A and B are shown apart, each in its own frame.
Chain A
């Protein structure tokens, strides 16, 4: 496969991440991500890579913290909510549209102190 083909594949793939936006839950990325890409320039050539990498590391920690909190015999929903709040903030700031929406639904389950909803019983799992 030549470089041109790879570049075309990359463009198509990126476009597909935005295209799914119209269906509920399906849009991986939104306009915020587009805006962040514009911040990348010759003075800051790895900006997007660095921020996205940090987001992945941070997300893993937050999801693990949420999972641990939900495994407790007495679930501290305020603690779970605090992790979700942070996750919603970082995901919306980076343009991770689908993650942001899942966090929003998760928060309402926490507010209702709904252990089944929070553990992912009725929300489509984020892949």
Chain B
């Protein structure tokens, strides 16, 4: 009976948007946003669909320059996914310039071909994680879980 009452109280708390722990913290119900920076149309569509399946509002651009222009307008993204090969300015340089703008979004390098040099270059430029394609739904779900718990 006590257990049932606890469950009912927890459900009530969640419905009101408060953590059942009783400490009054609001549960994170905010919408996460993402930007995919990749000039391959198939990868853009797939990565957007995967992110949106996790409830992440997603846009994509085809170059590092377009990404920087968008970010310069004040657009804010929780996650930015960057490919290695991009027209005019590669993913590493794009990353460097994004960090130089003071942007603290979670940056994920997602590239078709893994090698240690590439990984190091991306990490040195400021990405949080280096992922070999494909970006899969399980990986995105695990990243979202981490971000929601932070």
* B41 interface neighbour in A38, A58, A85, A104, Cβ under 8 Å: A58
Instruction: Determine the chain A residues whose CB is within 8 A of the CB of B134 once the complex forms.
Output: 32, 92-95
**Interface bracket on A:** 20 to 34
B45 neighbours in A (Cβ, 8 Å): 50-51, 54
Chain B residues positioned under 8 Å from A35 (CB to CB): 50, 136-138
Query: Could you list which residues of chain A lie within 8 angstroms of chain B, going by C-beta atoms?
Result: 31-32, 35-36, 38-39, 44, 47, 50-51, 54-55, 58, 82, 85-86, 88-90, 92-95, 104, 107
CA distance A47 to B45 in the complex (A): 10
A76 to chain B, nearest CB (A): 16
Contact B46 A94 (CB under 8 A): yes
Which interface class (under 10, 10 to 19, 20 to 34, 35 or more) fits B? Answer: 20 to 34
Most chain B CB atoms below 10 A, which of A35, A55, A58:
A35
B144 in the interface, Cβ–Cβ < 8 Å?
A: no
CB contact between B112 and one of A39, A50, A55, A85 (< 8 Å): that residue: A85
Tell me, in angstroms, the Cα distance from A39 to B138 when the chains sit together. 12
- B residues in contact with A93, CB < 8 Å: 40, 42-43, 46-47, 133-135
